[in-house]
Amino acid sequence: MRRRSLEIERETKAKYGWGLEGLWALTSTVVLINQLFLGSLMTVVVGFNWPVEHDNTVGVIVDGELVFASEEERWTRHKHSLNEPPTNALRQAFLFLRRKYGIKPRDVDAYAVNFDPQLMALSWRYVWWRSAFKKLIGKDVKLDLFQGNIIGKGLGVLRAGLLYLRGDYLDLARRFVRFAIHSIGEDAPDNIRVIPVPHHLAHAASAYYFSGFDDATVLTVDGFGEFEATVVWRVRDGEFEKVASIPTVYGSLGLSYEEVSAKIGYDRLEGPGKVMGLAPYGKASKYYEKLKSFIRHDDKYYPFRFDVPGKWKIKGTGVDYRQPYKIIANSLYPGGRVPWDVHGDLHPDAVDLAWAVQAVTEETMLHLAKWAKEHTGEDKLGLAGGVALNAKANMVIHYSKLFNDMFIFPAANDAGGPIGAAAYVYEHVLGGKMKRQRLKTVYLGPEYSDEEVKKVVERGGWNAKYVGDDVNEVVDLIVKGFVVAWYQGRAELGPRALGNRSIIADPRRKDMWGVVNRIKGREWWRPLAPSLLEDDASKYFIDPVPHQFMILMYKFKPEMCEVVPAVCHVDQTARPQTVNKEGNKTWYELIKAFKDETGEGIIMNTSFNLAGEPLVETPQDAIKSFALGGFKALYLQGWLIQK
């Protein structure tokens, strides 16, 4: 080894005139130059949710590539980050850019947000200005509006009043960005450029730019945007054409699902995901027939339409938009909520209401997809918006074979809006060119070094040993029937655990379904998902395609439910993640080792969190949840900790 080093030294001197020490010095200089100057040469767009509502997220585009994304809920530990400005996520984005690229906040070219106030009724802009102001003040965000002596404060009041009268909540966004920059000790530029992107265009951009398609039909379906809830797009070479738009009061599958979920006993953010899992326990009933009577698939103006008696404001406030769907839900189930304990025995009204809203959603999404195919002529489909999180409805479109290929943005809900907005601004405002490759990874959160993780482990005095990438001991524990928490690398974007923040167990053991749900504090009837080797997907499922993001369901081959009963729902479906070595090497090796041991290349995988919490983010979060939960062991980025 020493001889080879001397040979390299002589060769370097002969060729360049300096030795290895000089070469190392040159390399260090190049790195420093890169950090000092290259940051300013890169084009950077930071997207974030504004105004502050729910699922607040920050995403970063650098030179046409998504390099970072983090959800505020992971930092506040409040699921969906309701009414929480993405302060922590924005700070983390700035720190990541500085550490990774030498990019400082002053180098950011633009900020993109996922609502355009110019498309809203002025009355709603007033509501959102007041709401944003209260939320920012409530979270100790310094807006620098009321500074100096009594005259300065008076001028600040006047300035705030003028901003309010204009409904200009983008000024508050600029002040929020300035606060986040100052909070990490950086200087904020005088001109902070915040560019609004219409809500459904932001969703459409997320579905298109990360699909790998040149031309596509894109469907954006959610609760509401500025005034619309469902939009059909034709996208050709990055140009977005709106083919059909259904106003919220006529076309919100999202609000319909939320209001029925409320009748079943769930809130509007958590409800739809749980109700989708409850639906297979129900059956066609009076609720289905009643709900179906409110929706028309033969409307002459729109692809579909909820037909509710009354006069509705096409451009109003969120209260206006929700009203037709409250009427529908009250018509289905008059009075209050279904009287049942969601952790107890199933209630026939609850399961039949769930079945009804899920069936109508599936039927309408399939009808919408057919309408869109006929009116766009495109054979590839992109999906985004909160309703695109409905993996069962996505399955119906998949099995219809309407399109040759389909891509669903993994954070299809409002967490994905800022990312789409940033991509759109990068290409359509700043004149860049998105790379337009198929999204291969959502491991986009902050990085945690092995040294950081080691310190967390040692500080706790745990029974721990370093095993590195050797996953065989983890597999041994799973095969013995233990539930293991799994943590490594950068956190996943979106609501699904995809092998970096997971809880894993043996899917062959039927009792694991109940055991894992009990550990997490979940309802006993909720299904659990599998992760499996991509090459083995056709062994377990009917007509699968590679799908890394757990946002598309498949039907099990009937005989396979007996093999892996813990991940087969009562309707013989699952929402799987297919895994290959390129996408996540250690996660792949874990499943491969499980297959070598058992013959089955599939494991149970659910999100690493306890009831009511978001996915764990930091190594400290992982340790806390491990300590409180009923896990046998924790794999923590190379460390195996056992209780």
Residue 190 pLDDT greater than 80, yes or no: yes
Planar angle of CA 241, 417, 322, nearest 5 degrees: 90
- Region 232-259: what's the mean pLDDT? 98
Residue 167 pLDDT greater than 90, yes or no: no
590-641 confidence digits (pLDDT tens) = 999 999 999 999 999 999 999 889 999 999 999 999 999 999 999 999 999 9
pLDDT-derived band at 153 (thresholds 50, 70, 90) equals low
pLDDT-derived band at 144 (thresholds 50, 70, 90) equals confident
Q: Which of 52, 72, 56 is nearest to 127 (CA)?
A: 52
- Report which DSSP code applies to 433: -
Whether the CB-CB separation of 39 and 102 falls below 8 Å is answered with: yes
pLDDT-derived band at 146 (thresholds 50, 70, 90) equals low
Residue 165: what pLDDT?
Answer: 77
In degrees rounded to 5, what are phi and psi of residue 486? -135, 125
Residue 151 pLDDT greater than 90, yes or no: no
Residue 448 pLDDT greater than 60, yes or no: yes
397-426 CB burial, b ≥16 within 10 A, e <16: bbeeebbeebbbbbbbbbbbbbbbbbbbbb
Residue 34 pLDDT greater than 70, yes or no: no
295-336 confidence digits (pLDDT tens) = 999 999 999 999 999 999 899 888 899 999 999 999 999 999
Residue 20: what pLDDT?
Answer: 38
Residue 485: what pLDDT?
Answer: 98
Residue 40 pLDDT greater than 80, yes or no: no
In the chain, the domains with their CATH numbers are 2-41 (no CATH), 44-196 (3.30.420), 213-408 (3.30.420.40), 450-642 (3.90.870.20)
Q: What percent of the chain has pLDDT over 90?
A: 85
> What average pLDDT does the structure give for the chain?
92
171-174: list long-range contacts, CB under 8 Å, 24+ apart.
Answer: 172/129, 172/132, 172/133, 172/136, 172/143, 173/50, 173/111, 173/113
Residue 184: what pLDDT?
Answer: 97
Residue 188 pLDDT greater than 50, yes or no: yes
The SS3 of residue 119 is helix
Strand partners for 216: 235
66-114 confidence digits (pLDDT tens) = 999 999 999 999 999 999 999 999 999 999 999 999 999 999 999 999 9
Q: DSSP alpha helices (H): ranges in 65-139?
A: 73-76, 87-101, 122-138
Whether the CB-CB separation of 252 and 230 falls below 8 Å is answered with: yes
Residue 30 pLDDT greater than 80, yes or no: no
How is residue 435 written in tokens? 């790379």
The Cα-based distances of 495 to 308, 365, 485, 523, 592 in angstroms read 33, 21, 17, 18, 25
Whether the CB-CB separation of 602 and 478 falls below 8 Å is answered with: no
- 334 preceded by cis ω (within 30°)? no
pLDDT-derived band at 161 (thresholds 50, 70, 90) equals confident
Residue 118 pLDDT greater than 60, yes or no: yes
Q: Which of 356, 365, 390 is nearest to 282 (CA)?
A: 356
Does residue 143 or residue 267 have the better pLDDT? 267
- Tell me the DSSP string of 167-190: T-HHHHHHHHHHHHHHHTT-PPPS
Minimum mean pLDDT range among 5-19, 213-227, 386-400, 608-622: 5-19
* Dihedral (Cα; 179, 185, 191, 197), 10-degree rounding: -60
Residue 289 pLDDT greater than 50, yes or no: yes
- Region 23-30: what's the mean pLDDT? 43
- Region 143-157: what's the mean pLDDT? 69
- Region 477-500: what's the mean pLDDT? 98
The sheet with strand 228-236 has its strands ordered as: 239-247, 228-236, 215-221, 380-384, 405-408
User: How far is 99 from 338, CA to CA, in rounded Å?
Assistant: 52
Residue 27 pLDDT greater than 50, yes or no: no
How is residue 405 written in tokens? 């290929």
Residue 512 burial by Cβ neighbours in a 10 Å radius (0-12, 13-18, 19+): buried
Strand partners for 406: 381
SS3 of 575-613: CCEEECCCCCHHHHHHHHHHHHHHCCCEEEEEECCCCCC
Residue 641 burial by Cβ neighbours in a 10 Å radius (0-12, 13-18, 19+): buried
Q: Which of 216, 221, 223 is nearest to 245 (CA)?
A: 221
Residue 159: what pLDDT?
Answer: 75
| Diameter of the chain measured on Cα atoms | 88
Residue 10 pLDDT greater than 60, yes or no: no
pLDDT-derived band at 536 (thresholds 50, 70, 90) equals very high
Whether the CB-CB separation of 195 and 429 falls below 8 Å is answered with: yes
pLDDT-derived band at 164 (thresholds 50, 70, 90) equals confident
User: How far is 225 from 222, CA to CA, in rounded Å?
Assistant: 8
How is residue 241 written in tokens? 């054409």
DSSP β-ladder status, 633-636 and 639-642: antiparallel
Minimum mean pLDDT range among 23-27, 252-256, 273-277, 387-391: 23-27
Residue 168: what pLDDT?
Answer: 83
Beta carbons within 8 Å of 223's beta carbon, 6+ residues apart = 229, 248, 252, 254, 255, 258, 386
